[in-house]
């Protein structure tokens, strides 16, 4: 029973850690995608203007 409780605590910590890590990665990905979308649009504008 004690081992099971320890295991559950470990899983809880892992879940929190993965959630935190996933949140960071997702936020970075969104920022990266936003930046690249803006860059892409600017590139298209430059190409069509020139």
Structurally, how many domains does the chain consist of? Answer: 1
Rg, the chain, Cα only: 21
Mean of pLDDT values over 17-35: 89
Q: pLDDT band for position 1 (50/70/90)? A: low
Q: Which residue range forms the structural domain that includes residue 28?
A: 1-50
Mean of pLDDT values over 37-41: 88
| b/e code 12-28 from CB counts within 10 Å (16+ = b) | eeeeeeeeeeeeeeeee
Count of H-run helices and E-run strands, the chain: 1, 0
| pLDDT at 50 (0 to 100) | 59
12-16 long-range CB contacts below 8 Å, 24 or more apart?
none
């Amino acid at each position: 029973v004690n081992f099971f409780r320890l295991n559950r605590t470990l899983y809880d910590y892992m879940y929190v850690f993965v959630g935190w890590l996933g949140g960071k990665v997702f936020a970075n990905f969104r920022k990266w995608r936003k930046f690249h979308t803006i860059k892409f649009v600017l590139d298209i504008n430059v190409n069509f203007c020139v």
